[in-house]
Amino acid sequence: MRTKFLVLQLSDYTKEFRKNLNIAYPVMLGQLGHVLVGLADNLMVGRLGAAPLAAVSLGNSLVFIALSLGIGFSFAITPLIAEADGSGDIEKGRSYFHHGIILCGINGILLFLLLLLAKPLLYYLDQPPEVVEYAMPYLEIVAFSMLPLMIFQAYKQFADGLSQTKYSMYATILANVVNVLFNYLLIYGIWVFPELGLEGAAIGTLISRFFMLWFVWEILRRKSKFKPYFVWSKKELFNIDIFKKILNLGLPTALQMLFEVAIFTATVFLAGLLGTNQQAANQIALNLASMTFMIAVGLGVTATIRVGNQKGLHHYKELRRIAMSVFLLVFIIEAVFAVGFILLKDWLPTFYIDNAEVVLLSSQLLIVAALFQLSDGMQVVILGALRGLQDVKVPTAICFVAYWMIGFPVSWYFGKAENMGSMGIWMGLLAGLTASALMLYFRFNYLSHKLIANKPKEIKTETV
């Protein structure tokens, strides 16, 4: 009898797996597109020499921080749209959408100006002068692409909030093709195009991001589901309360991403203190871990959408059940990746380099990476669920405590050469991600039980 009850309870969660994956897979493929185009960029720029390749890495180190802030801010749109969609309130959803576009556009301008102002920092990072000179014009052009990219994010998060994640996937994949094409033409001067070298790569990125914005705008406005949201009214554009609501969700979410991105960036600098081989091993392990992380990112978006829908319907028991189904699904997937990392730890690094010491160091880091697969996957989907509840301020504090009061001190102390070296740095990542996952789960558990307790009776309906 007890076994039968357990099976029935488990099936309540597993029956949601198909719907969760249907929403998540376009996000996963879009993330994969970004990884592949980054690889293509590096291969093409690498043919120009070591200095241009190093310049791309240097310039993108600043761009990546700006991206984490901008994309994190845009995440505020998704739960608001999902809640309005769940409650069937198109007018409210339209207002959130329009205000979100305005704020993301302003955000794009601010990030562009921030990157221009940050350019002089490159001279103080103890980099070769030749690399800095290459990086300056590249950074200026890529910085301008923040404007179309942030407006695109507004459209993407809007469509995600309506559970239509495939359209932004189409836009991202096609834009990556455009990026590779124009990179090839402008870097090397093919056909009638001028040979611009590294600046050509930056222009290719700029063109692709304008194309991505145009494509998603064109495809969404033509779909019947989205047409009511594309009716613009001047009186809807400047509602201070809605601006405040988006800002109250967006700013903490941006900080959440910044705190996490920053600690992974910190591992690069800490590994650099140990030596070239340790830094190379760190980069290999980070690259492999980031590829599996995009699966969790897709499911994190799914958690935001589905929890936001149920919040709009005021179906809090369903909300908790659906969220738990996403948590269980990501745990199973990341557990498979963890086993794969352990079994293939000596083989995977050989794809990157044939240096025996680097391969050995990388294989050791992959053991730790295998362990934090579970924590990393869980923390990102629980953050997504909390975002669906529009709970962002406490999770932001949790992220700061987990990464910078727990994780970073562990990395700093145990990552010294006389202690554990590279393994110690990654033990800090494991500690921070595990602390984050546990505290975020306790937060979700508390809030979801509180919602159920305050509304004991629910009307059974089809889940979204």
DSSP per position, 207-223: HHHHHHHHHHHHHHHHS
Residue 269 has pLDDT above 90, yes or no: no
Check whether 95 has a pLDDT greater than 50.
Answer: yes
Q: What is the pLDDT confidence band of residue 127, given thresholds at 50, 70 and 90?
A: low
Least confident of 249-263, 333-347, 449-463: 449-463
Cα(240)–Cα(341) distance, integer angstroms = 49
Q: What percent of the chain has pLDDT over 90?
A: 42
3-state secondary structure the chain: CHHHHHHHHHHHHHCCHHHHHHHHHHHHHHHHHHHHHHHHHHHHHHCCCHHHHHHHHHHHHHHHHHHHHHHHHHCCHHHHHHHHHHCCCHHHHHHHHHHHHHHHHHHHHHHHHHHHHHHHHHHHCCCCHHHHHHHHHHHHHHHHCHHHHHHHHHHHHHHHHCCCCHHHHHHHHHHHHHHHHHHHHHHHCCCCCCCCCHHHHHHHHHHHHHHHHHHHHHHHHHCCCCHHHHCCCHHHCCCHHHHHHHHHHHHHHHHHHHHHHHHHHHHHHHHHHHCHHHHHHHHHHHHHHHHHHHHHHHHHHHHHHHHHHHHHHCCHHHHHHHHHHHHHHHHHHHHHHHHHHHHCCCCHHHHCCCCHHHHHHHHHHHHHHHHHHHHHHHHHHHHHHHHHCCCCHHHHHHHHHHHHHHHHHHHHHHCCCCCCCHHHHHHHHHHHHHHHHHHHHHHHHHHHHHHHHHCCCCCCCCCC
Q: pLDDT tens digit string along 330-363?
A: 999 999 999 999 999 889 888 776 778 888 888 9
For the CA atoms of 279, 285, 287, 292, the dihedral, rounded to the nearest 10 degrees, stands at -160
- Taking a C-beta distance cutoff of 8 angstroms, is the pair 395, 303 a contact? no
CA gap 29, 2 in Å, rounded: 40
Radius of gyration of the chain measured on its C-alpha atoms? 23
Reply yes or no on whether the pLDDT at 152 is more than 60: yes
Per-residue pLDDT of 319-339, as tens digits, reads: 999 999 999 999 999 999 999
Average pLDDT, the chain: 86
- Name the one residue in this structure whose structure tokens are 């309906």: 461
Higher pLDDT, 413 or 46: 413
Q: What is the pLDDT of residue 39?
A: 63
Confidence tier at 11 by pLDDT (50, 70, 90): confident
pLDDT score, position 377: 92
The answer to whether 324 touches 404, Cβ cutoff 8 Å, is no
- Name the DSSP class of 432: H
pLDDT, residue 6, reads 39
If you average pLDDT over residues 122-136, what whole number do you get? 77
Question: Of 419, 9, 44, 19, which Cα lies nearest the Cα of 205?
Answer: 44
Q: What is the pLDDT of residues 184-238, one digit of tens each?
A: 899 888 988 888 888 898 899 899 999 999 999 999 998 888 988 988 766 666 7
What would the pLDDT profile of 379-415 be if each residue is shown by its tens digit?
999 999 999 999 999 999 999 999 999 999 999 999 8
What is the pTM for the complete model shown? 0.81
* pLDDT > 70? residue 42: no
CA distance 170 to 166: 6
- Give the span between the Cα atoms of 252 and 235, in whole angstroms: 28
